[in-house]
Copies of this chain bind each other. A is one copy, B any other.
Amino acid sequence: VPRVLFNATSTHTQSPPPFDAVKDQYLLDNVVRYVGDEVAAVAADDDETAKGALEKIRVEYEVLPYVLTPEEAQEPEAPDLHQETEIKNIVGGVIRNGIGDIEVGFREAEVVVEETYRFPVQKQGQLETQAALAAFTEDGRYTVWCTTQTPHPTRKILSDIFGLPMSRLRVLNPPYVGGAFGVRIGLSAKAEPLALALCLLTGRPVKVMYDRKEDFTSSETRHGGTISVRLGLKRDGTFTALDVSARMNGGAYASWSADVNGAIGGRALSVYRVPNSRFAGYSVYTNTTLAGAARGFGAPQPTYSMEMTVDKAARALGMDPVEIRRKNIIRTGDAWPIPFPCLSTGLDQCLIQGAEAIGWGDRDGLREENEKGGRYRTGIGVGAGTHISSAFPFQTDYTGTQVTLTPDGTVQVVSGLMEMGTGIRTTLAQIAAEALGARFEDVWVKIGDTDSAYDIGGQASRSLYVGGMATRLAAEKVRDQVLMYAARKHEMDPDALSIRDSGIYEEDIFRLSLQEICQEADYDNVQFACLEHYKAPNALSWHAHFARVRVDTWLGTVEVEKLVAAHDMGRAINPQVVEGQIEGGAVMGLGYGLSEEVAYGPDGVQIQDSYHKYLMPTALDVGEIETILVEANEPSGPYGARGVGENSVAPVSPAVMSAVSHALGVTVTQLPLQPQRLLELLDTREE
């Protein structure tokens, strides 16, 4: 087993400072840093033999001092989890952001509200566990089939670990990856390097598949931790100062624990126009499962913290929660601490249309109803938020698409992206068809394979925004190649030509089909094809959720009767896909708010290590979800589109807890709001 330090999840060598990945893991180390840390791997011809061999391995563990929370890890007597940290147990340093002068801002403020929020460890819980199959294939390369979201970066990580040239290593997905949600950025836990190491050692194909418990305990989680928010306002509700600090539990290895604070700061400071803002955040090593990327990366925690604080400010000023938001949200052209401009935002429309759809006007009536007492209380709440559309400029972010017209006029698209259930294969085909003028059914898309131009993979809600633009540009160039050839060949005016429905038209007259022109070109030794590389910009998408909840004050349960998810993703290239993404994310958000939490016993053993113990919402737990698509048309995106894949996770819990607050008059500062915690809250209030 090679002894090379790596970062299994952050796509390392990839990120410019300060987000350069911290490399602190070995493949199989002799120091165990959390319960679940891999110490050995066994390969056998069948499961039974492997399990028998595993049982014969005796490991003698020397129990060293350990810490399970950031608080413990920062105590002077705490053990150093990794010697190389600059500040003891802080992963990669403190991330800072902000604009203006926070002191000035708070001096200008007439009202200041503040609060600290606590967040659970959430597990991505994808259906297919981490898996990889490595083999030396007849094409003279090592080939690794695996569940990664990022074939190219994963190849890079494997290349570094094993010293194999990237050109002799192929990483590809099976055609369908059974969910990912961030936990498969970079390696799929250690499935890929373990499979490849065993393959290299045995010279045979090796498949590694985590069982559910291994997947729970040994693959990354969403960061738990605390965020404190201090918000200064004028009496008219104008925000003057915002101070946000975050301390996250990074678990035993770095993963994305430095980067996540960049995201937390970005999400916290970019929804509202605040002339003076400041963010400082860091993650702390602890002896728990490493925290990494999870759908909505760095958004649920600050979004919840900000929105609860804005609600608190509205209450303090006696303002309507929607109105205080509409007054302060970022508009295009506003100064903000984000390293790319806001070119479009439909957030105001999300708030207006969402409020209308939830029946915001019923709020006062409901409050009166609730004040009468009784077992059930109903409330309506709101939560707004934002998310990125690419990894730029926090990581390198580029992609390439090759569009080729085959000699029968049908279209092959090869993209370095991958498909994990987001429908990107369909949407890329739509874009290629639209840009080229081909029929949708004539387009075939190949993805999920390093036999393609470099791409950083399915992450950062970027696939459509980045890969879609590369596909559009490549397809447009192919269209232009076709039209120039056709104009010359058939003596037509190139400016009068267009392609639609796989046919070439001169003005409105059909002249010949794509199939015919491609056959003619084939006779002429010409193929229409383009490989287009594309360096991504970035753009924020916008969203406001509204929840109507019914709280059972006896049982402590919260039923979300209706969730309105209003999203501005620039343009919905495929509305059905967009709605699917929004609904799926919203359900993850419901779990985050109400039920999902991974906790550790005093011995550091993960308690929730299976679907039976870790409670994700089932179909029966989900009420009505109404999606509203607002299309503000983003100038930097393909046909106006921005990202949408991760957006709907974060705004659910603030909308729901805003509604709970409305129903019960309590402020929820710790997630998830499981029944016992709700009952405790009610007890506290009643004391």
Contacts and interface: CB of A to CB of B under 8 A. Distances in A.
B451 A451 contact: yes
Contact of A523 (B16, B410, B526, B536): B16
Contacts of A176: 138
Name the residue in A175, A443, A527, A529 with the highest tally of chain B Cβ atoms < 10 Å from its Cβ. Answer: A527
Interface string A79-94: 0000000000000000
A519 B13 contact: yes
Interface string A126-151: 00000000000111110000000000
A166 B408 contact: yes
Given A139-B446, A408-B159, A451-B414, A14 B522 contact: yes
A525 B396 contact: yes
B165 A408 contact: yes
Interface stretch (A375-383, A398-406, A546-554, A584-592): A398-406
A166 B406 contact: yes
Nearest to A139: B175
Contacts of A536: 525
Contact of A522 (B13, B159, B407): B13
Given A174-B138, A522-B396, A525-B398, A410 B531 contact: no
A440 B653 CA distance: 57
A168 B407 CA distance: 13
Interface size, A (range): 35 or more
A527 to B, nearest CB: 5
A442 interface: yes
B398 A454 contact: no
Contacts of A392: 525
A152 B176 CA distance: 27
A66 interface: no
A392 B525 CA distance: 10
A399 to B, nearest CB: 9
A530 interface: yes
A167 interface: yes
Contact of A407 (B138, B166, B397): B166
A194 B679 CA distance: 70
B527 A453 contact: yes
A158 to B, nearest CB: 11
Contacts of A525: 392, 396-398, 535-536
Contact of A406 (B167, B410, B442, B527): B167
A223 interface: no
A524 interface: yes
A543 interface: no
A415 to B, nearest CB: 13
Nearest to A141: B444
A448 to B, nearest CB: 9
A531 B533 contact: no
B535 A175 contact: no
A314 to B, nearest CB: 42
B398 A166 contact: no
A390 to B, nearest CB: 11
A412 interface: yes
Contacts of A530: 531
Interface in A156-189: 156, 159, 165-168, 174-176
Contacts of A442: 165, 167
Contact of A454 (B166, B400, B443, B522): B522
Interface string A435-473: 000000011101000010110000000000000000000
A263 interface: no
A21 B16 CA distance: 58
A411 interface: yes
Given A137-B175, A453-B527, 8 more contacts: A13-B407, A152-B407, A156-B408, A167-B442, A406-B454, A412-B451, A454-B527, A529-B533
Q: Which 6 A-B pairs have the closest CB atoms?
A: A167-B410, A138-B175, A166-B406, A398-B525, A167-B444, A165-B410
